[in-house]
A and B are shown apart, each in its own frame.
Chain A
Amino acid sequence: MTLTRRDFLKATSAAALSTPFLDVGGDFLAAEGELPKRIAIVATIWEYLSHAQHMGDRFLVGYPFAGKWRRPHIELVSLYVDQRPEGDQSEARAKEFGFKVYPTITEALRCGGDKLAVDAVVVIGEHGDYPRNEKGQKLYPRYEFFREIVDVFEKDGRAVPVFNDKHLSFSWQKAKEMVETSKRLGFPFLAGSSLPVTWRLHPLELPLECEIEEALMIGVGSSDAMDYHSLEAMQCMIERRKGGETGVKAVQMIQGDAVWKAGADGRWSHALLASALSRSDTMHGDSQRPQDLANNGDLPRLAQNPSAYFIEHNDGLHTTLLMLNGAVGDYTFAARVKGMKELQSTQFFLPRIPNVTYSACLVHKIVEMIETGKAPYPVERTQMASAVLDRCLDSKVTEHRRLETPELNIRYRAPRESQFCNT
């Protein structure tokens, strides 16, 4: 028996795990002579610094991971873009890199033929001109894109791995249907934010099966983009708790001074706030100096229209997301874990524009799924973040009431291995 390159890499990466200093990270290199995997990208728009550009380009020009410039053995063969605003780069990219832009998703997946002709589909339904609903959700057509993709799978009798960027849908029902469809057809389905896979400062991972007593996330940015990222970042930490994710029984979203009152009433933990803020590298304040923002009284003045998202899980865990625009500029997390003396906290690090290297971390996970045929982490994580956000925004428009959420009975287990970038 001859050892393939993949066997070799499997063996070397297993060895690397036992040497703490020199894990070079996963190489998902194809075996010698193997043809490149062919992929289609289905995007809303492709313009400079849109998600489709900075993620899609990584399949064309490569990306850095673990100290090497990776050129995945993957060929982008077809593209669908839903909108072509001024600044559209889709045709220029197609011409330069030798792929084709098709007028429909179906044609992109079949590369103009009559059968599915790609080995994977990457859906990037972020950015572009789409309406918002009364809950403030931007109505990206990710569900519609997905429907058209699985229609092709069903008609052509073959399904391939799918990646969906960011939340599955603005609607919890649609997100649920997407996950169920992927299970029914049996194709690997990966989705979500880059926050769970980017670098952490410091590189905290909670031990699998630990007992989390409470958790709090601090985020910034607009709804329903950045609160989604924050929810999914928190979810990737708390899903490692004892028993795994058990679903959510109720949510509530409040805004303004009510957030501080809820803190004073003990609905969210001040100690966790202080711990999360201790991981922030971007304290705003009246002067550029170190400050104890958790305790110096400045926070209510600095935070512009703060909001709190309360999430009650079926197993009794209560978690909170605080969106604190104006006070900080980064994403931090803290948890109280049974048996650990110190609170556990970290920052999800987002490297800056233009490189936005976090998207290299995410693309590396997509490459892993395409090359191995397995999603490295469960799509239910993203389903949960999508659904929790949708129901929190329902609470926002129903007088910030607490809503029972029997429909969020989403149960799953975290992957055993850490998935964030630390190599």
Chain B
Amino acid sequence: MARPKIAAVVTEYRQNAHAQHIVDRFLWGYKWQGRHHHPPMDLVSIYVDQFGDKGDGDMSRDRAKRFPTMKIYPTIADALTLGGEKLAVDGVVLIGEHGRYPRNEKGQTLWPRYEFFMQIVEVFRRSGRTAPVFSDKHLSWKWEWAKEMVDISKELDFPFIAGSSLPLNRRMPPVEISRDAEVEEIVGLAPGGVDGYDIHCLEGMQCMVERRKGGETGVVSMHALRHGAVFKAMATGSWEAGGWDPELFEACLCRSHTLMPAREGFNHILPRPEDIPPLLKETPVAYRYEYADGTRATMLLLEGLIHDFTFAARLKGQRDPLSLRLFTDGRNPRNFFNPQVNAIEQMILSGKPTFPIERTLLTTGLTAAGVESLWLGQKRIETPHLAIRYQPTEESTFWRS
């Protein structure tokens, strides 16, 4: 079989933009399973939506010069057809993260992922042929569009994966929820803010909880809190009383390697709830949501308290919570993109999605629901549209080699 050709469709290609991290790995290779791995495929074309002003740090032209096999095309259709009439690549990598795009009144950045996707499938339709597609982070800021993207992928029957790199990364410890475990409650803890890091944390939580007994059943409600409401909820001491299980929150803190010391002169100390507010650098946020099978979930964004992603779950019949750090090493060259690029390669080589797109459809819906709940004044909302049922992959897909 000839080496597959792939196209990249990106918003911008600057230092530390997702496009740089992902596309660079197709060009230079990356560390994988104890060696420097070169993907057995060629990234032959790229569409860049924003080059920025002169000297603005665009790297795509530099990359095209260094790798003449990769050509920059002026439109998405041209990138996919290599300037011809019909689809001429065997896979598409859509990276709609970073760049200058407007925000709406709810605070969501209007990344043009849906618009890019529609142009991609337009080429598929007129070529009578499709190719596997990867879409970075959440599918869209808008639930209806995300749903449509997944529906189209089913209709045209092409492999489609999306989401954060967090589900694919290392775990400390490297554990998985067993397929017969009943999960009562989960907590995820993350830095950052709404419409940015919430999706990463939700994806990290979802890749863990989807393996519970029966698989995924969908989400029935979302209640997002911010500011003082988060600490009020924390003080209640239980889900029933409007908060979350403090033991799960503490387990997350115990899995963090970046816990801001609550006292000067101490390098590592467990904060009491009252120690937390002064440590925060952004408005704290909590998404409390409930699954159809009764599993309860809380995602907490506490920027300033921690700088890593942690997760804890209360499993029925287990004395201690299961907990872990979903590991991403923030140091350059950001190797946490390695397993994501590898998952894309696997999909292109096998013609099968590496993990279910329904996971990212659900987390996209959760992100939008969280934003909506905040927008409505921290109002609990029913989410009948998130009755998304799916089964996880048989094998674990996180980085363990």
Contacts and interface: CB of A to CB of B under 8 A. Distances in A.
- A is bound by B: yes
B117 interface: no
Contact of A275 (B35, B250, B320, B329): B35
A33 interface: no
A397 interface: no
Contacts of B322: 21-22, 67
A54 B267 contact: yes
A68 B257 contact: no
A355 B257 CA distance: 6
A203 interface: yes
Contact of A283 (B170, B172, B176, B333): B333
Contact of A48 (B24, B25, B267, B320): B267
Contact of B16 (A67, A288, A353, A354): A288
A63 B255 CA distance: 11
A289 B24 contact: yes
A354 B261 contact: yes
Interface stretch (B26-34, B72-80, B126-134, B362-370): B26-34
B172 A202 contact: no
B251 interface: yes
A106 interface: no
Interface in A196-234: 199, 201-203
Contacts of B29: 290, 292
Contacts of B323: 67
A290 B338 CA distance: 10
Given A289-B20, A356-B268, A22 B175 contact: yes
B31 A290 contact: yes
A169 interface: no
Contacts of A23: 173
Contacts of B35: 274-275, 278
A61 B269 CA distance: 7
A355 B267 contact: yes
Given A352-B257, A355-B257, A288 B333 contact: yes
B254 A279 contact: no
A57 B400 contact: no
Contact of A57 (B177, B267, B327): B267
B332 interface: yes
Contacts of B267: 48-49, 53-54, 57, 353-356
**Which interface residue of A53, A92, A201, A289 has the most chain B CB atoms within 10 A?**
A289
Contact of A68 (B28, B254, B333): B254
A259 to B, nearest CB: 21
B395 to A, nearest CB: 14
A42 interface: no
B265 interface: yes
A344 B178 CA distance: 28
A89 interface: yes
Contacts of A63: 268
A409 to B, nearest CB: 34
Given A89-B265, A283-B332, A292-B29, A274 B254 contact: no
Contacts of B173: 23, 203, 422-423
B277 interface: no
A267 to B, nearest CB: 22
B178 A67 contact: no
Nearest to B255: A67
A201 B170 contact: yes
B283 interface: no
A279 B400 CA distance: 12
B262 to A, nearest CB: 10
Contacts of A355: 256-259, 267-268
Contacts of A275: 34-35
B254 A67 contact: yes
Given A48-B267, A68-B254, A278-B35, A289 B333 contact: yes
B30 A290 contact: yes
Contacts of B172: 199
Given A22-B175, A281-B335, A288-B15, A69 B401 contact: no
Contacts of B332: 282-283, 288
A395 interface: no
Contact of A280 (B31, B32, B176): B31
A53 to B, nearest CB: 7
A282 B35 CA distance: 15
A316 to B, nearest CB: 25
Nearest to A346: B34
B251 A67 contact: yes
A295 B36 CA distance: 9
A65 B173 CA distance: 11
A329 interface: yes
Contacts of A283: 332-333
Contacts of A343: 34
B3 interface: no
B268 A54 contact: yes
A345 interface: yes
Contacts of A57: 266-269
A62 B270 contact: yes
A202 B269 contact: no
A57 B303 CA distance: 25
A289 B321 contact: no
A281 B251 contact: no
A351 interface: yes
A57 B265 CA distance: 10
18 contacts: A54-B267, A62-B270, A64-B255, A67-B254, A67-B324, A89-B265, A199-B172, A203-B173, A275-B34, A279-B31, A279-B34, A290-B29, A290-B333, A334-B34, A353-B267, A354-B267, A355-B267, A422-B174
Given A64-B268, A69-B250, A355-B257, 19 more contacts: A21-B175, A57-B268, A67-B322, A201-B327, A202-B174, A278-B31, A278-B36, A282-B331, A288-B16, A289-B20, A290-B25, A290-B30, A291-B28, A292-B29, A292-B36, A342-B33, A351-B257, A354-B267, A357-B257
Interface of A: 21-24, 48-49, 53-54, 57-58, 61-65, 67-69, 89, 92, 199, 201-203, 274-275, 277-283, 288-292, 294-295, 329, 334, 342-345, 351-357, 360, 422-423
- Nearest 6 A/B pairs, CB to CB: A64-B254, A351-B257, A67-B323, A354-B267, A292-B36, A288-B332
